[in-house]
């Protein structure tokens, strides 16, 4: 995809999933049509014009515009995912591995086959190792993001923001703009402060491996051993990795 298309995909994700969501290439990697449909249904319930027929004209127009925007985002993302999955299916299973088909039943199955001959994300490695299902991986990512402390809460705890300034940032936030970007634009935070908060936010989020330990799918010893295999695999693919599991 070119940069314009990349931006439109990321913007569409923020419209449906909210500006607090950590929209990234990893997010797109795990995103599935069922998740897009669920997010759109929730957005439609809040913005559909029929739900605001008793409001004044300005309010009706506001929600109508938001509904149209959400509908466009939904169609764009569904089209993107269809192209992505079709392209994936055309790749050799031995060279790149394979994701489950769009069948809900397949998403609940365990993978059996060789590891893809490419660098993998930690969650992907667990799936392609046959230890978790793709559905459980999606659930783990959702769980992980829910555990992550909010940007504003961290900034206030560190004394970067007070309640009044945090409210001002929310009021000044533009469509598609992240909280940190707004804070810098209006002069309430600098780039160093924003990056420090983002780094701490990711540092404090729960580990993916911890989810499967809590669920009883894997033991701590399993996770540690698999993580060593994961690092060796990516090292063999030209990408040594020593992050967290």
Q: What is the pLDDT, as a whole number, of residue 4?
A: 41
pLDDT given at position 23: 78
**How far apart (Å, rounded) are the C-alpha atoms in residues 239 and 56?**
57
To the question of pTM greater than 0.85 for the whole model, the response is no
For residue 189, the model assigns a pLDDT of 92
Q: In whole angstroms, what is the distance from residue 121 CA to residue 134 CA?
A: 13
**225-239 core/surface letters (b: 16 or more CB in 10 A; e: else):** ebbeebbebbeeeee
Three-state SS for 97?
Answer: coil
- Which residue positions in the chain have pLDDT lower than 70? 1-6, 20, 86-106, 175-176, 239-245
Domain boundaries, the chain: 1-90, 93-147+214-245, 151-204
* pLDDT given for residue 239 in this prediction: 55
Write down the pLDDT at residue 46.
Answer: 86
What are the DSSP calls for 105-158, one per residue?
Answer: HHHTSBP-SPPPSS---HHHHHHHTTSSBHHHHHHHHHHHHHHSPPHHHHHHHT
Residues shown for the chain: 245
Handedness of CA 18, 19, 20, 24 (dihedral sign): positive
Closest CA to 211 of 139, 149, 131: 139
What pLDDT does residue 99 have? 59
Separation CA 122–CA 63 (nearest Å): 40
Distance CA 155, CA 194 (A): 8
């Amino acid at each position: 995809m070119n940069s314009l298309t990349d931006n439109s995909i990321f913007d569409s994700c923020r419209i449906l999933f909210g500006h607090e969501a950590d929209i990234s290439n990893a997010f797109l990697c795990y995103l599935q049509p069922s998740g897009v449909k669920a997010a759109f249904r929730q957005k439609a319930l809040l913005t559909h014009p029929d739900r605001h027929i008793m409001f004044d004209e300005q309010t009706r127009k506001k929600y109508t515009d938001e509904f149209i925007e959400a509908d466009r985002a939904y169609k764009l993302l569904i089209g993107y995912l269809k192209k992505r999955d079709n392209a994936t299916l055309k790749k050799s299973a031995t060279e790149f591995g394979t994701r489950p088909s769009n069948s809900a039943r397949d998403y609940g199955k365990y993978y059996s086959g060789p590891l893809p001959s490419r660098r993998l994300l930690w969650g992907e490695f667990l799936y392609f190792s046959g230890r978790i299902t793709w559905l459980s991986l999606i659930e783990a990512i959702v769980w992980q993001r829910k555990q992550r402390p909010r940007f504003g809460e961290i900034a206030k705890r560190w004394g970067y923001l007070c309640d009044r300034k945090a409210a001002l940032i929310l009021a000044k936030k533009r469509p598609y703009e992240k909280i940190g970007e707004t804070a810098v634009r209006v002069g309430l935070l600098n780039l160093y402060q924003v990056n420090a908060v983002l780094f701490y936010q990711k540092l404090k989020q729960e580990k993916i491996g911890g989810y499967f330990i809590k669920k009883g799918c894997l033991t701590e010893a399993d996770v540690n051993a698999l993580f060593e295999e994961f690092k060796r695999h990516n090292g063999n693919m030209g990408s040594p990795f020593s992050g967290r599991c």
